[in-house]
Amino acid sequence: MNKVVSTLIVFGMILLLSLAVLIPYAVCTETYDWSIQHTEPISWFAGVDALDSTHVWAVGVVGNIEFYNGTSWSPQVSASGQSLVDVVAVDANNVWACGMNTTIEYFNGTIWATQPAWPGYFGYINGIDALDTTNVYAVSATGSIGKYDGANWSLSDNGAVGTNLQDITTCNSNNIWAVGWAGMIRYYNGTAWSTQASPVVTAWNSVSSCDPNHVWTVGDNGNIAFYNGTSWVSQVSGTGQDLLGVSA
């Protein structure tokens, strides 16, 4: 889903962007400030997702899961104890997390439980995203993509086998993108998966979409690419540092 906070949520400290409204000379000016929120236990978090300001989940190493209710963070019990790297929330009673050793966890509003991954796969599951409770997609370190239909996980795509896929974004049922190493960009049009040409060969680490004509992916060495509905084009980032997350 969205890994933009993977470098912000560390060692049990969560940075919160708050809004302060100032009114100088009768003109409304918005200013934004970051504040630190603490979690118990102290941990390293890798993924976060929010439904609203009172339903936020963060996941991290050794199965650490934290939930924010609008006031404070509290731990939730992982079903696997495995390190988790991404999380996606459809609603308060349908949340998925993924991570190492083929781990997929599901929260039904009360408890977390493990779900078997798609048949034949064992390894790291790096990213997860969902359109709804019957269209949940996850990408793996070996290039396969799994889909959850509300009952079971099955193989959706293996066209990128051998490539480490890092992230996936589900724009709608006919527009889904998965990205990974070696410039890999996989696209689903509602019928079949295909590979789209990347403007640069790099390790793409994250992808996000706000509609089929506005999709961004970011990667190593400051690389950014934008999809305009027709093709991917490079954008100037202004940095040579590795970019790990993007949100649109």
Q: What integer pLDDT is reported at residue 75 of this predicted model?
A: 97
In the predicted structure, residue 25 carries a pLDDT above the cut 50: no
Any bridge partners for residue 179, and if so which? Answer: 167, 185
Copy the structure tokens of residue 156.
């959706």
The arithmetic mean of pLDDT across residues 225-232, rounded, is 99
Copy the structure tokens of residue 32.
């934004």
In the predicted structure, residue 71 carries a pLDDT above the cut 80: yes
Copy the structure tokens of residue 120.
């034949």
Per-residue burial over 208-223, b if 16 or more Cβ lie within 10 Å, else e, is: bbeeeeebbbbbbeeb
3-class SS of residue 240 = coil
| 190 and 173 Cβ atoms separated by less than 8 Å | yes
The arithmetic mean of pLDDT across residues 114-137, rounded, is 98
3-class SS of residue 162 = coil
Q: What integer pLDDT is reported at residue 23 of this predicted model?
A: 30
- Binned at pLDDT 50, 70 and 90, residue 4 comes out as very low
Q: What integer pLDDT is reported at residue 8 of this predicted model?
A: 39
Element (H, E) at 158: none
| 107 and 99 Cβ atoms separated by less than 8 Å | no
In the chain, what are the domains? Answer: 116-248 (2.130.10.10)
Q: What integer pLDDT is reported at residue 38 of this predicted model?
A: 86
29-38 vs 45-52, strand pairing mode: unpaired
Separation CA 198–CA 216 (nearest Å): 12
Please indicate whether residue 133 or residue 39 has the higher confidence score (pLDDT). 133
What average pLDDT does the structure give for the chain? 90
- pLDDT tens for each residue of 148-164: 999 999 999 999 999 99
Distances from the Cα of 237 to the Cα of 7, 144, 242, angstroms: 17, 29, 11
CB neighbours of 23 closer than 8 A, spacing ≥ 6?
Answer: 29
Separation CA 81–CA 87 (nearest Å): 15
Separation CA 154–CA 118 (nearest Å): 4
pTM value is: 0.89
